[in-house]
Amino acid sequence: MQIDLSQKAAAMIRLLALPLLVLVTAPCLAQDTLNFPHLGEVLRFEKKFDEIIPEDATIEVVAAGFDWTEGPVWVPGEPGHLLFSDIPQNSVYRWEEGKGASLYMKPSGYTGVADYGGEPGCNGLMLDAEGRLLSCEHGDRRLSVLTKDGGKRTLVDNYQGKRFNSPNDLIVHSSGDILFTDPPYGLPNRWEDPLRELDFCGVYRLKPDGKLTLLTKELARPNGVALSPDEKTLYVAQSDPAAAIWKAFPINSDGSLGKSRLLYDATKDVKSLPGLPDGMAVAQDGTIFATGPGGVYVFTPEGKLLGRISTGERTSNCTFGGPDGETLYMTADMYICRIKTNLTGLSHKE
């Protein structure tokens, strides 16, 4: 989504209003508090939501001062930590409990020498089965993998010889297939950019052997993607203010997609709440956590809205993490937030 300077100024004012937050001049300074400030509120629309988010849960701000945060992924281990993108800074940061945020990788998504607009860095991040970091890179317009020796390798950067627009978000199937979206947000002038080579925004599947398949181009602005626990359904968010929706696609046995169904339509919320449908996370019981106007929408697999984790900010993405996999980490404008849940994320391994 586009970065607006007036919105950034407003975010800074909100930052100043947060209680107990120690202001720093750079986001990579060490954490010096465990008494995190709170942001927003939890909105409960259905009784079942109380089983998902504890009644006393609050949205904690664990790091702040970034330009535009995206692509959070929890890296398990000792110690476990969160990696996330700051797209305008062309950087990936690492956040660890008790230490705070530090620069992990720069450049992250653009390695050229000419100016490449306001969002050159990487966007969505994910771990593959080997624990390697996969990146959707805006500026270099590719899907990449960070190898064990610290070097990057291009997985794919074009469809039928035409360069991607700007890969945005991805999810890894248990088969090793990578499903990803390709809207135009990373191009310097977006859809109108003369560098654009494709006349559509696609959802793709990349197989381990390198075979690339276009799964669908029915969405004008496909963005976040997620899989159901049984991997029989692909969820795709559309960040189009005229049709701010989430769709569910059945996955056929050959990996192709069947006819989509509308999961939820938040177009009515766009005029009054900040943000658009974006990244998603799914719990082991199938509950969907989807960033959208005003925060994180919590749906049943059938698309019933149970509640909203209302950050009040343009919330771009979310992922489960922490030692037990029950903490939802959220990237919301200049903030990294989290909230305790009663569910465990799909990516958590016992």
Tell me 252's DSSP state: P
Amino acid at residue number 132? R
Cα–Cα distances in Å, from 4 out to 15, 64, 333? 17, 18, 11
Task: Kindly state the tokens that stand for 172.
Answer: 């890894």
**Residue 145 near residue 152, CB atoms below 8 Å:** yes
> How far is residue 311's CA from residue 237's CA, in Å, rounded to a whole number?
19
How confident is the model over 79-124, as pLDDT tens digits? 999 999 999 999 999 999 999 999 999 999 999 999 999 999 999 9
> How far is residue 322's CA from residue 320's CA, in Å, rounded to a whole number?
7
Determine the pLDDT at residue 282. 98
Task: Kindly state the tokens that stand for 259.
Answer: 């006819």
Determine the pLDDT at residue 281. 98
Determine the pLDDT at residue 347. 79
- Fold held by 5-340: Neuraminidase (2.120.10)
Determine the pLDDT at residue 34. 61
Q: Which residue has the tokens 């190898």?
A: 147
Residue 341 bridge partners (DSSP)? none
> How far is residue 313's CA from residue 285's CA, in Å, rounded to a whole number?
27
Task: Kindly state the tokens that stand for 2.
Answer: 């586009």
Determine the pLDDT at residue 209. 96
Tell me 269's DSSP state: G
Coil vs helix vs strand at 190: helix
Compute how many other C-beta atoms are within 10 angstroms of the C-beta atom of residue 284: 14
> How far is residue 16's CA from residue 10's CA, in Å, rounded to a whole number?
10
Coil vs helix vs strand at 15: helix
Q: What is the dihedral of CA 221, 132, 88, 189, to 10 degrees?
A: -40
∠ CA 47-226-135, rounded to 5°: 135
> How far is residue 218's CA from residue 321's CA, in Å, rounded to a whole number?
32
The domain limits of the chain are: 5-340
Residue 135 bridge partners (DSSP)? 125, 144
Determine the pLDDT at residue 238. 98
Buried b (16+ CB within 10 A) or exposed e, 63-93: bbbbbbbbbbbbbbeeeebbbbbbbbbbbbb
Determine the pLDDT at residue 179. 98
> How far is residue 176's CA from residue 174's CA, in Å, rounded to a whole number?
5
Determine the pLDDT at residue 78. 87
Is omega for the bond preceding 107 within 30 degrees of 0, making it cis? yes
Q: Which segments of the chain does DSSP mark as H helices, in order?
A: 5-17, 49-52
The model's pTM: 0.91
Could you give phi then psi for residue 339, rounded to 5 degrees?
Answer: -145, 145
Coil vs helix vs strand at 317: strand
**Which mean pLDDT values do the consecutive 10-residue runs of the chain (350 residues) have?**
53 48 46 73 96 96 96 94 98 96 97 95 97 97 94 97 98 97 97 96 97 98 98 98 98 96 97 97 98 97 98 96 96 97 84
